[in-house]
Amino acid sequence: MIVVLKPNVGTEREEQLIGWFKSLGLGVHVSEGQFQTVLGLIGDTSKVDSDLVASLDIVDSVKRVTETFKCANRKFHPEDTIVEVGNVKVGGGNFCMIAGPCSVESEEQIVGIAKAVKAAGANMLRGGAFKPRTSPYDFQGLKAEGIELLKIARQETGLPIVTEIMNASDLPLFEDVDVLQVGARNTQNFDLLKELGHTGKPILLKRGIAGTLKELLMSAEYIMSSGNENVILCERGIRSYSDYMRNTLDLSAVPMLHELTHLPVVVDPSHATGMARMVPPMALAATACGCDGLLIEVHNDPPHALCDGAQSIRPEEFAKLAGKVMAVREASK
Amino acid sequence: MIVVLKPNVGTEREEQLIGWFKSLGLGVHVSEGQFQTVLGLIGDTSKVDSDLVASLDIVDSVKRVTETFKCANRKFHPEDTIVEVGNVKVGGGNFCMIAGPCSVESEEQIVGIAKAVKAAGANMLRGGAFKPRTSPYDFQGLKAEGIELLKIARQETGLPIVTEIMNASDLPLFEDVDVLQVGARNTQNFDLLKELGHTGKPILLKRGIAGTLKELLMSAEYIMSSGNENVILCERGIRSYSDYMRNTLDLSAVPMLHELTHLPVVVDPSHATGMARMVPPMALAATACGCDGLLIEVHNDPPHALCDGAQSIRPEEFAKLAGKVMAVREASK
Amino acid sequence: MIVVLKPNVGTEREEQLIGWFKSLGLGVHVSEGQFQTVLGLIGDTSKVDSDLVASLDIVDSVKRVTETFKCANRKFHPEDTIVEVGNVKVGGGNFCMIAGPCSVESEEQIVGIAKAVKAAGANMLRGGAFKPRTSPYDFQGLKAEGIELLKIARQETGLPIVTEIMNASDLPLFEDVDVLQVGARNTQNFDLLKELGHTGKPILLKRGIAGTLKELLMSAEYIMSSGNENVILCERGIRSYSDYMRNTLDLSAVPMLHELTHLPVVVDPSHATGMARMVPPMALAATACGCDGLLIEVHNDPPHALCDGAQSIRPEEFAKLAGKVMAVREASK
Amino acid sequence: MIVVLKPNVGTEREEQLIGWFKSLGLGVHVSEGQFQTVLGLIGDTSKVDSDLVASLDIVDSVKRVTETFKCANRKFHPEDTIVEVGNVKVGGGNFCMIAGPCSVESEEQIVGIAKAVKAAGANMLRGGAFKPRTSPYDFQGLKAEGIELLKIARQETGLPIVTEIMNASDLPLFEDVDVLQVGARNTQNFDLLKELGHTGKPILLKRGIAGTLKELLMSAEYIMSSGNENVILCERGIRSYSDYMRNTLDLSAVPMLHELTHLPVVVDPSHATGMARMVPPMALAATACGCDGLLIEVHNDPPHALCDGAQSIRPEEFAKLAGKVMAVREASK
C-alpha cells in the first residue's frame, strides 16, 4: 500500500504514523518528493483499512498495490478455470448456450421449450422457479414445483438445468439442480454467497445492478474462499442514465474480466436490454468480444409469458441466432 | 395505463390489441392524434406487464398513470406516518438522532459511546453486530454477542437500539431489538423484506446502492403489504461517477419522498460520504431540507475502530453537531 | 402530449387548465380514469413546455407522444441515409473504416500511418489538428499546420480526411477537409452545430460524455434543421461508475439508433476504452451488432505519441483487426 | 507519480522503463515489495502521460501524487479567493444571492423582477439573453437585445448583472456585463474558456452535466492559467439514474471543493431540480453545508415564462426563502 502525505506535515506527526504502521507489523519505505512525502508499506496490508488511512488529516491519498481478491485473481492462477456441468464445459475455450424461459410455467411449456432450444444448439436449460420481482404484487414463480418441472425437462432432453436461488434456506430444494444462479439483486447478499461456497455446485454469479468489476470479483471471492471454485461470472447490463434501454450492457467487461480473473464469463443480453429485438445483435456482439457463453430467454409464446415476455425471443429466432453466434465466434478468433 | 401506437399501424392490428386488453377485463379509450393513436386503459392495470406491451412491434411507448406502490403512497394516505420506537416518535414533525459506532466491539466501547451520544442529544443508539463487508477477509461483526452488548447499552442508557439484519434466519436473535435495519445491499432482498413484514417491528430501510426512489418505495411495499407499516426510509448516498467521494448523497430525495409517501425519511451522512469531516456539513444540509432524523456514526477512537473508522466522528464532535442541527431545524421551518 | 392530473383536482381548476391548452390552439381530449383524469392534447404540441406543465401543482405527470426530433427521425424518413465522402459511402449497408493517429505530429508520421492504414483496408484517414484536452498544460495540437499535413497525406493516399473542429471561427481552415468531427465535449455546443449546419459538409457527431440518445439526436437536429443532412453519428463510450475502464462503451446504442433514426452510426472503441489492448475485441463487438463503420486510433509508435498513445494500436495490429472485422461483418449478417 | 509494476517483470524490462523515465529528466526511486515493485518518480511529472504509462504491458497501475491543477489548488493558495463584482464580494465568508428569470423577455419583466429580488435581499441579477436549448425549435433568447435590457435593469436597481455567454465571438456584446456565466454544456469548451481567461471579468463556471470535480477544477485552470483569477464555481446538479428529478444535486461537492480549492462555490438549486417547489428546501440545504452563494430562478409569472418556468419561484416566495437562508446560514456557522 502506498500512502501519500499532505505537504508540510511535520516530522513528528509523520513519525507517529510510521510508528503506527510498524506496530501493525509492516515495513515502511519513506520517499521524499518535491512537495510531498510518500510512504510505501511492505508486508501483509490486507488488514489495513485503507479508507481509514485516507481519512487521516495528514494523509492526502492512499493506493493499494495488490488487489484484495486472491482466489479469483489471474495473477495467482494464470490458467483459465473450466467449470464442468455434467458433460458441458464452461470456460477455457468452451462455449455454452444457456436458453429457456424467464419463468417455468407448466410441464408442457418447459419441456416444449427445452426440446426446441436443444434442437437449436443450446447445451443448458434455464428457467426461473423463484423469481425476484420489484413489486410484491407480481408473479413470484412456481417455486418448488418449478424446480420439479425443470427436472422433468432435464430428463426429457439431457440438458443440465440452471435456476436462481434467492435464499440459503431454500438450498435443500436445489440439491438436484445443476447450476445455481445468483441474481443481480443478490450479488452482495454475502450470507447467501457464503452458503453457496459450502456446496460444491457450479454457481452462475450475476454482476450487481450497479456493480463494479471489483465488487463482482469480491463476491466471487466470498464463494471461492468458502471452498467452492466453480464460479461462472455473468455480465447482465448495469444501470445508467441511458434512455430507451433498461440497462447498459457493458461488453468491455468481458475482455477486462478475462484479464483480471481466470473464471469464465458469460453474458445475458435479454435482461440487459429488456427487448426481444435487441437480443440477437447484442448476443452477437458479446460473442465477438470473447465471452464464454450466453444466457438467453426463449419463450414459445412471449405475449402470454407470465414474466418478462418482453425480452424473450421465440425458439425459431433462437435457432437462427445460434447459427450466427457460431459463425461470429469462428470469425472473431 | 396509456399506450401510444406507432404511426400507420393499420386498423386490424389495432383492433386485435384492443381486443386483447378487453379480454383482460380493461376498458379501452381510443384517441386519434395527428400522427399517432393513443389508447387509454381503464380498470385495474396493475396486472398488465407494461414492459411486454412496450415491446410489441406496433407500440411506440407506454405510460402508467397510477404508481404501482399502494400502501406507501401518499395519494391514498395523506397523513404522515409516525413510527413509534419505545417512547421515541419518528416522522410527523418529530426528529430523531440515531448515533453510535459502525460496529459493536466490546461492552466498554458500546456503553461508553451510548452514554456519550445520549448526553449529546441522541435518542436512539445504533451499532452493527452483523456486518456486510465487500471482502470476505474483513471483520464481519460480533454477531449474537454484539446484540447482547447493545442490550446492555440500552439498559444503561434507556436508548432504543437499531442494528442491521442480513438474514431472515437470524430473526430470533433480533427479537428484543427495537429497530431492524436493512442495509443498502439488501434493499431488494425480497425474501428478507417479506419476513420483516411478518414482524411488527419498526424497520429502517436503506435505499439501494444505485436504487431509484420507486424501487425504495416498492421495497417498503414488500414490508407493508406483508402486514408491517412501521417503515422508516433512509437516504444514504447513491453510486455515481463523482470523484473524491464514496457516494453521492442525494438530498433532493428528502423533499421528493415526502411528496410521494407518508413514511418518515432519515438521512445517513456517514456512509454517504465515507469521511468524518464531511459528516457535519452534510448532516446540517439534510436537516435544512426537512429530513425526519439522522443516522450518524460516532466512535470514541476512530483510528482504532474495527470497521469504517474513517467515517466516524468523535462524541465531542457529535455533541457540537447536535446543537447546530437543532438550530438549523428551527431556522429552516 | 398526454397530461395526467392528480386525483381530486376539482372541476374548476381542471377546466382552467383545459382552457389554457385550448388558448394555445390545441385540441383537448378528456378521459376520466378510475382515480385520475387524463388529458390528451391534439395539435402541434412542440411549443408546449412539458416541464412547465409537469410542474403545475394539479398535474401528476406528462408524456410526449411524438419525439421532438423531426429531421433525424426514422418515422418520417424510413430509408437509410447514405453520407457520401468523396467516393466513400457511409450507411445504408456500406461499411467505413476510419483510422489514424490521435494527433497529427509531422508529415512523416501522418503520411506513413496513412499509407499503412490504407494498405490494411482503411477507407478514411483520421488525425487531430485541434485537440480538446482536459488540462491546459497538455499538448493542444498542431492546429492549421496539422490540417495542411492531413491534406498532404490525402494527396499521397487518396484517403478522405476526418478531423475535429472545436470552434466555428476556425471554419475557414476546414474548407478543404472532407469530414468535420464534433467531439464529445462539444456535442451540445449549439452555436457550433448551427454553423456546421450552414456548411454542406459531412459531419461526424460524437455522443456527449454522458449524453442520452435523445440528446444526440437533438444535436443532429441542430445541424440538419440548419440545412445540412450529412450527419454521421458516433458512439464513443459514456461515463459511468464502472472501474478499470475509462468509459462504458454502450453498444446497444447501435441497434437502438438504427431504429430511431435513418442516419449512419459508427463506433469509436479507442476513446471508449482508453486502452489499446481493448480496441480489437470491442471493434469486433461493434461490428457484430451492426454499426456502419469504425473510428480507430492507429499510431506507428504509441509509446512516443504526443497524445493518447495509450489507446492507439500499431498498423500491423490494425491490419489484422481489419481482416477480422470483415469476417465478423459477414458472419453476423 | 507512482508506478506499480506487474509481478515478475524481469530486470531488463524494468531497467528499460527506469531509463526512459530518467531520459525525461525525472528521478526514480525503486521500492521492492513482497510481490511487486513500485517506482516513485521525482521531479516535474506534469508532462508525463499517466494513461500511456498505465497502458504499458509491464505496468499494473499508476497514481499521481500531485494534482494537475495548480492555480486553483488550495495547497498552493491556502487563503480563500474573494471575487469582487462591483461592490459585491463573493467568497471568503461573503454570501451572494443571485436571482432573476431564466430568460430576459421584456424591459418590463426584467426591471420588475430586478426590483422585486433586490427588495427581497438579492445582491446580483441573473437573466439569460443567449440560451442553450436542447432543441433547435425552442426559444433561443433575445440575444443582444436581452443584454441591453439587463443593463437597464442594472441602472434601475444597482444590481450587478450575470448572464451566460455561449460563444467567444459574442464577447464584444458582453463588455459591459458584470459576471459572465459559462453553462454546463460549455464547461469543457476549452476555446471559450481560454478567451474568457483573457478578459479580466468575473466568470461563473458551472459544473458539467456529468462533470467530476477534477474536471471542473481543470476548466477553472484554463481560465486562470490564461490570466484571469476571478472564477466562481457553481454546482448545478449532475446526471444520474435517479427518477423523479431532472438532475441529482451533489451538495457534498460544496465542502469538498472548499477543501480542494480557494475559489468560491455557489449552488444553483433551480436547474438541479427543475421544479419550483424543490428550490426552497435545496437552497436551504446548500446554505447549511457552507456554499458561498445561491443562484435562483425567479419569475413574476412562471406559467407564462418563455423558458424553464417550471423551475422558477415567484418574487414573494423568493423573499420568504431569502429570510430563511440567512437564518440557516447563521445557525450552521
Chain A within 8 Å of C210 (Cβ-Cβ)? yes
Kindly tell me if the per-residue pLDDT of C290 is higher than 80.
yes
How far does the CA of residue C47 sit from the closest CA of chain D (Å)?
7
Is the Cβ–Cβ distance between C134 and C107 less than 8 Å?
A: no
Query: CB B51 to CB A308 under 8 A?
Result: yes
* Angle (nearest 5°) at CA A79 between A74 and A81: 90
Query: CB B136 to CB A274 under 8 A?
Result: no
Touching D (3+ Cβ pairs <8 A), the chains are A, B, C
- Concatenating the DSSP letter of every residue in D19-73 gives HHHHHTT-EEEEEE-SS-EEEEEES-GGGS-HHHHHHSTTEEEEE-SS-S--TTB
**Sign (positive/negative) of CA torsion B296, B298, B302, B307?**
negative
- Per-residue pLDDT of C48-63, as tens digits, reads 777 778 877 788 888 8
Query: CB C210 to CB D210 under 8 A?
Result: yes
Query: CB A256 to CB C244 under 8 A?
Result: yes
Q: Which residues of A touch C251 (CB under 8 A)?
A: 249, 251, 282, 285
Of B4, B66, B240, the CB nearest to C65: B4
Residue B115 region, left (φ>0) first, then alpha (ψ -120 to 50), else beta?
alpha
- Per-residue pLDDT of D291-331, as tens digits, reads 999 999 999 888 777 666 788 999 999 999 999 999 999 99
Share of chain D above pLDDT 90, in %: 69
Chain D within 8 Å of A241 (Cβ-Cβ)? yes
Alpha-carbon radius of gyration of chain C = 23
- Alpha carbon distances (Å) from D217 to A4, D195, D211: 21, 17, 10
Q: How far is Cα B210 from Cα A136, in angstroms, rounded to an integer?
A: 20
Residue at grid coordinates 391514498 = B76
* Angle (nearest 5°) at CA C190 between C186 and C194: 115
Q: Give residues with Cβ within 8 angstroms of A66, minimum separation 6.
A: A45, A46, D35, D36
Q: How far is Cα A100 from Cα A125, in angstroms, rounded to an integer?
A: 6
**Sign (positive/negative) of CA torsion D127, D130, D132, D137?**
positive
Query: CB B40 to CB C34 under 8 A?
Result: no
Q: How far is Cα A215 from Cα B135, in angstroms, rounded to an integer?
A: 9
Give the number of A-C residue pairs with CB atoms closer than 8 Å.
Answer: 129
Is the Cβ–Cβ distance between D102 and D307 less than 8 Å?
A: yes
Query: CB C255 to CB A282 under 8 A?
Result: yes
Q: Which residues of B touch C65 (CB under 8 A)?
A: 4, 33, 35-36, 38, 60-61
Parts of chain A with a pLDDT under 50? none
- Alpha carbon distances (Å) from B114 to B154, B201, B309, C152: 8, 22, 17, 77
Mutation choice for D interface testing from B212, B215, B239, B242 by most D CBs within 10 A = B242
Share of chain D above pLDDT 70, in %: 99
pLDDT band at D16 (very low <50, low <70, confident <90, very high): confident
Chain D within 8 Å of B223 (Cβ-Cβ)? no
Q: How far is Cα C306 from Cα C318, in angstroms, rounded to an integer?
A: 20
Q: How far is Cα D206 from Cα D204, in angstroms, rounded to an integer?
A: 6
Q: Which residues of C touch D303 (CB under 8 A)?
A: 20, 52, 56
Count the Cβ atoms, other than its own, within 10 Å of residue A24: 13
Nearest Cα to Cα of residue B46 among B73, B11, B19: B73
- Per-residue pLDDT of D64-74, as tens digits, reads 877 889 999 99
pLDDT score at A139: 84
Is the Cβ–Cβ distance between C142 and C131 less than 8 Å?
A: no
Q: How far is Cα A83 from Cα A220, in angstroms, rounded to an integer?
A: 14
Instruction: Please report, in tens digits, the pLDDT of each residue of chain B (333 residues total).
Output: 888 888 888 888 888 889 888 888 888 888 877 678 888 888 878 777 777 788 777 888 888 877 889 999 998 899 999 999 999 999 999 999 999 999 999 999 999 999 999 999 999 999 999 999 888 888 889 999 999 999 999 999 999 999 999 999 999 999 999 999 999 999 999 999 999 999 999 999 999 999 999 999 999 999 999 999 999 999 999 999 888 888 999 999 999 999 999 999 999 999 999 899 999 999 999 999 999 999 999 998 887 776 667 889 999 999 999 999 999 999 998
Nearest Cα to Cα of residue A85 among A96, A75, A74, A76: A96
pLDDT score at A307: 67
How far does the CA of residue D139 sit from the closest CA of chain B (Å)?
24
Query: CB D255 to CB B330 under 8 A?
Result: no
Residue at grid coordinates 414488500 = B222
Of D46, D52, D307, the CB nearest to C137: D46
What are the E-state strand segments in B103-251? 124-126, 161-164, 179-182, 203-206, 231-235
Count the Cβ atoms, other than its own, within 10 Å of residue D18: 16
- Per-residue pLDDT of C230-263, as tens digits, reads 999 999 999 998 888 889 999 999 999 999 999 9
- Per-residue pLDDT of D101-159, as tens digits, reads 999 999 999 999 999 999 999 999 999 999 998 888 888 899 999 999 999 999 999 99
Enumerate the H helices of chain D as residue ranges.
11-23, 50-55, 107-120, 144-157, 190-198, 213-225, 253-260, 269-273, 279-288, 315-331
- Per-residue pLDDT of C95-105, as tens digits, reads 999 999 999 99
Q: How far is Cα C164 from Cα C179, in angstroms, rounded to an integer?
A: 9
Nearest Cα to Cα of residue A251 among D15, C280, B293: C280
Nearest Cα to Cα of residue D38 among C311, A21, A38: A38
First to last CA, chain B: 38
**Sign (positive/negative) of CA torsion A177, A180, A185, A188?**
positive
Query: CB D40 to CB A31 under 8 A?
Result: yes
Q: Give residues with Cβ within 8 angstroms of B189, minimum separation 6.
A: A166, A185, A186, A189, B182
- Per-residue pLDDT of D196-208, as tens digits, reads 999 999 999 999 9
What is the pairing mode between strands C161-164 and A161-164?
unpaired
Q: Give all domains of chain B, ordered by start, each with its CATH number.
A: 2-63 (3.30.70.1140), 83-331 (3.20.20.70)
Give the number of A-B residue pairs with CB atoms closer than 8 Å.
Answer: 125
Q: Give residues with Cβ within 8 angstroms of A156, minimum separation 6.
A: A111, A114, A115
Touching B (3+ Cβ pairs <8 A), the chains are A, C, D
Query: CB C56 to CB D303 under 8 A?
Result: yes
pLDDT score at D7: 81
Query: CB B38 to CB C66 under 8 A?
Result: no
Q: Which residues of A touch D34 (CB under 8 A)?
A: 42-44
Chain D within 8 Å of A60 (Cβ-Cβ)? yes
Query: CB C289 to CB A287 under 8 A?
Result: no
Chain C within 8 Å of D135 (Cβ-Cβ)? yes
- Per-residue pLDDT of D226-246, as tens digits, reads 999 999 999 999 999 888 888
pLDDT score at D307: 67
Mutation choice for C interface testing from A218, A242, A267, A294 by most C CBs within 10 A = A242
Query: CB B38 to CB C75 under 8 A?
Result: no
Dihedral of CA atoms D36, D37, D43, D47 in degrees, nearest 10, equals: -60
**Sign (positive/negative) of CA torsion A312, C241, D7, C277?**
positive
Helices (H) and strands (E) in chain B, counts: 10, 14
pLDDT score at D189: 96
Of C7, C40, C75, the CB nearest to B38: C40
* pTM, full prediction: 0.93
Q: Which residues of B touch C34 (CB under 8 A)?
A: 42-44, 66
Of C214, C245, C332, the CB nearest to A284: C332
- Per-residue pLDDT of C158-184, as tens digits, reads 999 999 999 999 999 999 999 999 999
